[in-house]
Structure 1
Amino acid sequence: MKTTRRKFLSTAAVGAAAAPLATPALAQGKITWRMQTYAGAALAEHVLDPAIKMFNTIAGDRMNIELYYADQLVPTGELFRALQRGTIDAVQSDDDSMASPTDVTVFGGYFPFASRYSLDVPVLFNQYGLNEIWDEEYSAVGVKHISAGAWDPCHFATKDPINSLEDLKGKRVFTFPTAGRFMSQFGVVPVTLPWEDIEVAVQTGELDGIAWSGITEDYTVGWADVTNYFLTNNISGAWAGSFFANMDRWNELPEDLQTLFRVCCDQSHYYRQWWYWGGEASLRVNGDKMKLTTIPDAEWQQVEDAALTFWEEIAAESPVKAKVVEILRKYNDDMKKAGRPYRYS
Structure 2
Amino acid sequence: MKRTSILKVAAIALLATGTTSAFSAEFNLRFQTHYTPEQLSGKLAQQFIDNVNVMSGGRVEIEMFYASSVVPSVEGFDAAASGVLDGEMHGAAYLTGKNPAFQFVGDPMGGYDTPWQLYEFLYHGGGLEAANELYNQHGMQFVGWWAGGQETMSSSKPLAGPDDLKDWKFRSPPGLETEIFAQMGASPIVMDFTEVFTALETGIIDGADYSSLANNVGIGLYDQVKHATFPGFHSMPADHVTVNLDVWNSFPDDIKRIFEVASQALALQTSMAFDIANREAVPGLIANGVTLYDWSEEDRAAFRAGAQQAWDSWADKTPEARKLVDAHRAFQKKIGLID
Structures share fold, TM-score greater than 0.5: yes
Matching residue's letter, 2:290? K
**What is the match of residue 86 of structure 1?**
83
How far apart, CA to CA, are the structure 2 residues paired with 1:166 and 1:90?
A: 43
Matching residue's letter, 2:180? F
Work out which of the residue numbers 237, 240, 244 in structure 1 matches 2:238.
Answer: 240
**What is the match of residue 43 of structure 1?**
40
How far apart, CA to CA, are the structure 2 residues paired with 1:139 and 1:167?
A: 42
- TM-score, structure 2 normalization: 0.75
How far apart, CA to CA, are the structure 2 residues paired with 1:290 and 1:89?
A: 48
**What is the match of residue 262 of structure 1?**
260
**What is the match of residue 18 of structure 1?**
none
**What is the match of residue 17 of structure 2?**
none
Residues 1-345 of structure 1: pairs in structure 2 closer than 5 A? 25-29=7-11, 30=23, 31-41=27-37, 42-59=39-56, 62-99=59-96, 101-102=98-99, 104-157=101-154, 160-163=156-159, 164-166=164-166, 168-169=168-169, 171-173=170-172, 175=173, 177-185=175-183, 186-191=186-191, 193=192, 198=193, 200-203=194-197, 205=199, 210-219=208-217, 222=219, 224=221, 228-229=225-226, 231-232=228-229, 234-236=232-234, 238-287=236-285, 291-294=290-293, 303-336=303-336
Tell me how far 1:137 sits from its aligned partner.
1.4
Matching residue's letter, 1:148? W
How far apart, CA to CA, are the structure 1 residues paired with 2:117 and 2:228?
A: 22
How far apart, CA to CA, are the structure 2 residues paired with 1:229 and 1:36?
A: 37
How far apart, CA to CA, are the structure 2 residues paired with 1:330 and 1:255?
A: 30
Tell me how far 1:144 sits from its aligned partner.
1.0
CA-to-aligned-CA distance 1:200-234 (integer Å, 9 cap, x gap): 54455599665243213334x64557654452163
Secondary structure of 1:154's counterpart equals coil
How far apart, CA to CA, are the structure 2 residues paired with 1:291 and 1:34?
A: 44
Contact 1:145/1:242 (CA < 8 Å) preserved in 2?
A: yes
Point out which structure has higher relative CO (alpha carbons under 8 A, 6+ apart): 2
How far apart, CA to CA, are the structure 1 residues paired with 2:174 and 2:57?
A: 37
Aligned pair in 2 of structure 1 residues 253, 210: CA closer, same or farther (>3 Å)?
A: farther
Larger Cα-atom Rg: 2
Secondary structure of 2:335's counterpart equals helix
287-296 or 25-34, which deviates more: 287-296
Tell me how far 1:127 sits from its aligned partner.
1.3
**What is the match of residue 6 of structure 1?**
none
Secondary structure of 1:330's counterpart equals helix
Secondary structure of 2:63's counterpart equals strand
Matching residue's letter, 2:80? L
Secondary structure of 1:25's counterpart equals helix
Tell me how far 1:111 sits from its aligned partner.
2.2
How far apart, CA to CA, are the structure 1 residues paired with 2:101 and 2:338?
A: 29
Contact 2:105/2:131 (CA < 8 Å) preserved in 1?
A: no
Matching residue's letter, 1:312? D
Contact 1:229/1:290 (CA < 8 Å) preserved in 2?
A: yes
Tell me how far 1:115 sits from its aligned partner.
0.9
CA-to-aligned-CA distance 1:272-306 (integer Å, 9 cap, x gap): 23223333333224446782344976887764432
Secondary structure of 2:236's counterpart equals coil
Tell me how far 1:321 sits from its aligned partner.
2.4
Secondary structure of 2:143's counterpart equals strand
How far apart, CA to CA, are the structure 2 residues paired with 1:58 and 1:329?
A: 36
Aligned pair in 2 of structure 1 residues 172, 344: CA closer, same or farther (>3 Å)?
A: closer
How far apart, CA to CA, are the structure 1 residues paired with 2:224 and 2:42?
A: 22
Count of residues in correspondence between the two structures: 310
CA-to-aligned-CA distance 1:6-59 (integer Å, 9 cap, x gap): xxxxxxxxxxxxxxxxx9724323243221224344132343222223334455
How far apart, CA to CA, are the structure 2 residues paired with 1:142 and 1:290?
A: 50
Aligned pair in 2 of structure 1 residues 227, 314: CA closer, same or farther (>3 Å)?
A: same
